[in-house]
Amino acid sequence: MPRFSKSVSALRSSAIRELMSLAARPDMISFAGGMPGNDLFPINEVEELFKGLDTRTKQSAFQYGPTPGLPSLLESLGSYLEGKGLPVGNDRLMITTGSQQGLSILGKVFVDPGDRVLTEYPCFIGAIAAFRSSGAKIVSIPVDEEGLDIDMLRQEAARPDPAKFLYITPYFHNPAGMLYTSERKLELVEAIQGRDIPLIEDDAYGDLWFSEEDRDRLVPIKATDPEGIDICYMGSFSKILGPGLRLGWLLAPPAIYEKCELIKQSADACSPSFSQVIADAFIRSGKIDGYVVKVREAYRRRAACMAEALRKHLPEYVRWNEPKGGFYIWLTLPEGADATPILKLTIEHGAVFVIGSTFDPDGSRNDTMRLSYCNNTPEEIERGIPIIADAIRKICG
C-alpha cells in the first residue's frame, strides 16, 4: 500500500459523485454546474484577434513565460483593474492558472497542517478543497443575506491564536448568490483590523451585476485600502471570457506576493502563455467591455427566467435569494430537511442541482440546494424547475 500524505488522505471524494454520474445523461437538464453558457463564448472575436497578431507575439504564445505572467498582460490587466479602483501600483499582480490556483497557492503560503483558517458557511467547494489539501482545519462562519456573521468573526479574531486567514466571496457568492452590503464589509474590516488575519477577497463574479443600483456594493474591500489588513484580492477570466483559458489573477501585498511567486514557480512555472496572449489581445482591443455587457445581459435574462419559474412553482416554505448577479440561486428548505432524497427524485425525472452539504466544510448541513441558471435556455428552466418543485413537495410535504 503506498504511504500517502496526511493531507491527501484528508481529501474525500463525495458520496454524491455516484449520484451525479447518473446525471450525465445527455437529456438531463442541469442546474448543477457553475459553467458559463457555451453559446456565449467569443469564438469569432478570438479567431480574428489571433489572426491579427504579429509573428513574434504568436510565437510567444507557444513559449514558456515568466512565472508571474506575461508582462504585456500584467500591464493591460493592471490598467483594467486600476479602472475598478484597485491599488495595482502599491501591490503586486500575478497571473494564476485559474483563480483556483490562487487559492491553492495561498493555502500553501499560509497553512501548516492543523492550522485554522476562516471561511464562510456556505463556502465555495474549490476553496474548501484547496485549503484542506494544505492540511487546514476549516472554521466556517455563517453568512446571511448581507454578509458574514460579525459577532462570530469578532470572537474568532479575539482568540489568542487567531486563524491564519479569512476567505470570503462577497460579490454574488458561490453558492449563496448574495451580495455583501457595504456596511457589512466595513464591520468585517473593523473586526479583523490589526489582528494579523490576512483577508482573501475572491471576486470571481463581480462583473456580472444585473442592476446599476448595486454598483456601490461592488467596490472591492481591496480598493478601499484599509489600514492594518493584508488583503489578497483574486479574480478570474473564467466567468467573463472562458474557464478553458485557465487564467485568474492575484493582487497581493509585496511580502505575500514574493512567497506566492515561489510556490507558483514550483507548481507550474508559468500559466498558459497561449491563454495569456489571447486575454491580453482581448483587453487591448477593447472587446472585453462590450463582451462583459453582453454576457451580463444574457445571465440577467436567465436569472429572471429562473426566478419567475421559482415564484410560480416552489412551495412557499422554501426561501431563496432574488438573484442580483452571478450564476446562482440558493434555496433553503425547512429546518431539518434533507436535500439528498430530493436530488435523487429530481435526477429520476430528468433534472439535477447541487445539494447544500457540498458547500459545508463539515459536510453535515444539508437543508439547502444550489441552482445555477448560467448555462440553460428559458425552455430548459421552465421544464426543469417544476421537476425540482415537485420533488421538494414529495419529500418535504
Q: Which is nearer to ligand PLP, 111 or 314 (CB)?
A: 111
Q: Other C-beta atoms within 10 Å of 210: how many?
A: 19
34 near ligand PLP (CB under 6 A)? yes
φ/ψ of 206, rounded to 5, equals -55, -30
170 near ligand PLP (CB under 6 A)? no
Return the range that interacts with ligand PLP (CB under 6 A); candidates 54-62, 95-103, 143-151, 217-225.
95-103
Indicate which single residue of 30, 60, 99, 372 sits in contact with ligand PLP (rule: CB under 6 A): 99
Q: Which is nearer to ligand PLP, 202 or 207 (CB)?
A: 202
**Least Cβ distance, residue 76 to ligand PLP (angstroms):** 18
- What is the sign, positive or negative, of the torsion defined by CA atoms of 49, 50, 54, 60? positive
Contact 220, 179 (CB under 8 A): no
**Least Cβ distance, residue 238 to ligand PLP (angstroms):** 3
SS3 content of the chain, % helix, strand, coil (to 5): 45, 15, 40
91 near ligand PLP (CB under 6 A)? no
202 near ligand PLP (CB under 6 A)? yes
Q: Which is nearer to ligand PLP, 374 or 389 (CB)?
A: 374
271 near ligand PLP (CB under 6 A)? no
**Least Cβ distance, residue 93 to ligand PLP (angstroms):** 15
Q: Which residues contact 134 (CB under 8 A, 6 or more apart)?
A: 7, 104, 107, 108, 110, 111, 113
The site string for ligand PLP over 215-244 (x = CB under 6 A, - otherwise) reads ---------------------x-x----x-
Question: Which neighbouring-strand residues pair with 138?
Answer: 117
Place of cell 464591520: 187
- What is the sign, positive or negative, of the torsion defined by CA atoms of 389, 391, 394, 397? negative
133 near ligand PLP (CB under 6 A)? no
Contact 259, 230 (CB under 8 A): no
Question: Which neighbouring-strand residues pair with 328?
Answer: 372
DSSP structure class, residue 212:
G
How many residues make contact with ligand PLP (CB under 6 A)?
14
**Least Cβ distance, residue 59 to ligand PLP (angstroms):** 26
Cα–Cα dist 211/204, whole Å: 18
Indicate which single residue of 204, 252, 343, 395 sits in contact with ligand PLP (rule: CB under 6 A): 204
DSSP 351-381: EE-EEGGGG-TTS---SEEEEE-TT--HHHH
Return the range that interacts with ligand PLP (CB under 6 A); candidates 49-57, 98-106, 362-370, 371-379.
98-106
Q: Which three cell numbers stand for residue 21?
A: 454520474
Indicate which single residue of 37, 66, 126, 253 sits in contact with ligand PLP (rule: CB under 6 A): 126
Q: Per residue in 100-138, is it b (16+ CB within 10 Å) or e — as a string? A: bbbbbbbbbbbbeeebbbbbbbbbbbbbbebbbbbbbbb
201 near ligand PLP (CB under 6 A)? no
Q: Which is nearer to ligand PLP, 248 or 356 (CB)?
A: 248
372 near ligand PLP (CB under 6 A)? no
Q: Which is nearer to ligand PLP, 204 or 305 (CB)?
A: 204
Q: Which three cell numbers stand for residue 117?
A: 483558517
Return the range that interacts with ligand PLP (CB under 6 A); candidates 36-44, 97-105, 282-290, 359-367.
97-105
Indicate which single residue of 98, 147, 220, 242 sits in contact with ligand PLP (rule: CB under 6 A): 98
DSSP structure class, residue 271:
-
The residue nearest ligand PLP at its CB is 98
Indicate which single residue of 100, 275, 321, 358 sits in contact with ligand PLP (rule: CB under 6 A): 100
User: Can you give the binding site for ligand PLP, defined by CB under 6 A?
Assistant: 34, 98-100, 124, 126, 169, 174, 202, 204, 236, 238, 243, 248
